[in-house]
Amino acid sequence: MVLRKAFQNTINPADGKLAPKWEGPYLIEAEAGKGAYRLLTMEGNLLPRAWNAVHLKKYFM
């Protein structure tokens, strides 16, 4: 499982500095290329595009 970095277009601007920096957790569905991964939500929905490993970090439960 991984967390995905939260970008400006996915966070609420009213939260300011206290906005979460990471979103998730997500499951890795497949490797989409060198360092890119297809992600699934915990409900099993596939995210619309691949995400680079630079924008992901391991999630431990």
Q: What is residue 5's predicted lDDT score, i.e. its pLDDT?
A: 96
> For all residues of the chain together, what is the average pLDDT?
94
Q: What is residue 9's predicted lDDT score, i.e. its pLDDT?
A: 82
Single pTM value for the model: 0.86
Q: Whose CA is closest to 29, among 51, 55, 10, 7?
A: 51
Interval 19-29 mean pLDDT: 95
| Extents of the domains making up the chain | 2-58
Identify the band that residue 1 occupies on the pLDDT scale cut at 50, 70 and 90: very high
Domain 2-58's class?
mainly beta
Q: CB-based contacts of 20: which residues, under 8 Å, 6+ apart?
A: 6, 11
Helix, strand, coil percentages (3-state) for the chain, rounded to 5, are: 20, 45, 35
End-to-end CA distance of the chain: 9
- Asked if pLDDT for residue 22 goes beyond 90, the answer is yes
Classify strands 22-33 and 2-5 as parallel, antiparallel or unpaired.
antiparallel
